[in-house]
Amino acid sequence: MLQRVLMYNEPCSGRLVTLGEQRKVRSMLSGILENGSPKSSAVVVPNGATVDYSQLIEEVERVAGLLSAAGAKPGTPASIVLGNTLEYLVTFLAVTRMGGIAAPLNPAYTAKEFRFYMEDCGSRLAVLSPDASAARKAAGDLGITVLEATSADRGTIIIKQNETDLTKSRDTTSPTSSDVALFLHTSGTTSRPKGVPLTHDNLLASLTNIRDTYQLTPDDVSMIVMPLFHVHGLLGAALATLSSGGTVVIPPRFTASGFWPVQRATRATWYSAVPTIHKILLDRADDDDAPSKSFRFIRSCSSPLSTAIFTNLEERFNAPVLEAYGMTEASHQMSSNPLPPSKRVPGTVGPGTGVQIAIMDEGGILVNEGVKAEVVIQGPNVMHCYNNNPTANAEAFTKGWFRTGDQGVLDKNGYLTLTGRLKELVNRGGEKISPIEVEDAIMLHPAVSEVVCFAMPDTKYGEVVHAAVVLNDKCDEHTIRVFCGERLAEFKVPDRVHLTDNLPRTATGKVQRRHVAAKFSAVG
Query: What is the per-residue pLDDT across 254-267, written as a single tens digit (0 to 9) for each?
Result: 999 999 999 999 99
pLDDT at 410 over 60: yes
pLDDT at 39: 98
pLDDT at 23 over 80: no
Q: Give the mean model confidence (pLDDT) for residues 419-443.
A: 85
Q: Which of 171, 199, 227 is the last residue of a domain?
A: 199
Residues 218 and 40 sit within 8 Å (Cβ to Cβ): yes
In a domain, 90, yes or no: yes
pLDDT at 51: 98
Residues in the chain: 524
Write down the pTM of the prediction: 0.86
pLDDT at 244: 98
Hey, is 274 helix, strand or coil?
Answer: coil
Q: Give the mean model confidence (pLDDT) for residues 12-35.
A: 58
> What's the mean pLDDT when you consider all of the chain?
91
- The whole-angstrom separation of Cα 426 and Cα 265 is 37
In a domain, 146, yes or no: yes
Query: Lowest mean pLDDT: which of 277-291, 328-342, 427-441, 509-523?
Result: 509-523
Instruction: Categorize the per-residue pLDDT at 27 as very low, low, confident or very high, splitting at 50, 70 and 90.
Output: confident
pLDDT at 521: 84
CA torsion, points 104, 110, 111, 117, in degrees to nearest 10?
-40
Q: Which of 182, 199, 216 is the last residue of a domain?
A: 199
Instruction: Categorize the per-residue pLDDT at 96 as very low, low, confident or very high, splitting at 50, 70 and 90.
Output: very high
Residues 251 and 279 sit within 8 Å (Cβ to Cβ): no
| Burial annotation 338-359 (CB, 10 A radius, 16+ → b, else e) | beeeeebbeebbbbbbbbebbb
How many angstroms separate the Cα of 395 from the Cα of each of 24, 362, 392, 424, 436?
Answer: 35, 11, 5, 15, 18
Strands (E), 328-461: 332-336, 356-360, 373-378, 397-398, 401-410, 416-421, 426-428, 431-433, 448-458
pLDDT at 100: 97
In a domain, 11, yes or no: no
In a domain, 255, yes or no: no
In a domain, 394, yes or no: no
In a domain, 135, yes or no: yes
In a domain, 273, yes or no: no
* C-alpha closest to that of 42 among 226, 216, 243, 319: 243
* C-alpha closest to that of 337 among 437, 213, 254: 213
User: Could you tell me the CATH number of the domain that includes residue 121?
Assistant: 3.40.50.980
Long-range CB contacts (< 8 A, 24+ apart) of 510-514? 511/450, 511/452, 513/424, 513/435, 513/452, 513/453, 513/454, 514/454
In a domain, 350, yes or no: no
pLDDT at 512: 77
Where would I find the H helices in 256-335?
Answer: 256-266, 275-284, 307-317
Q: Which of 180, 199, 218 is the last residue of a domain?
A: 199
Residue-wise pLDDT for 354-385, tens only, equals 999 999 999 999 999 999 999 999 999 999 99
Residues 198 and 184 sit within 8 Å (Cβ to Cβ): yes
Q: Is 159 left (phi over 0), alpha (psi -120 to 50) or beta?
A: beta
- The whole-angstrom separation of Cα 304 and Cα 270 is 19
How many helices and strands (H and E) does the chain possess? 15, 28
- HSE-CB at 25 with a 13 A cutoff on CA atoms is 17
Beta bridge pairs of residue 50: 44
Q: Give the mean model confidence (pLDDT) for residues 88-116.
A: 97
* C-alpha closest to that of 311 among 278, 341, 346: 346
The total domain count for the chain is 2
Query: Lowest mean pLDDT: which of 25-29, 46-50, 399-403, 412-416?
Result: 25-29
pLDDT at 326 over 50: yes
What residue numbers bound the domain in which 146 lies? 27-42+49-199
User: Could you tell me the CATH number of the domain that includes residue 503?
Assistant: 3.30.300.30
Helix 53-69 × helix 86-97 angle, to 10°:
60
Instruction: Categorize the per-residue pLDDT at 513 as very low, low, confident or very high, splitting at 50, 70 and 90.
Output: confident
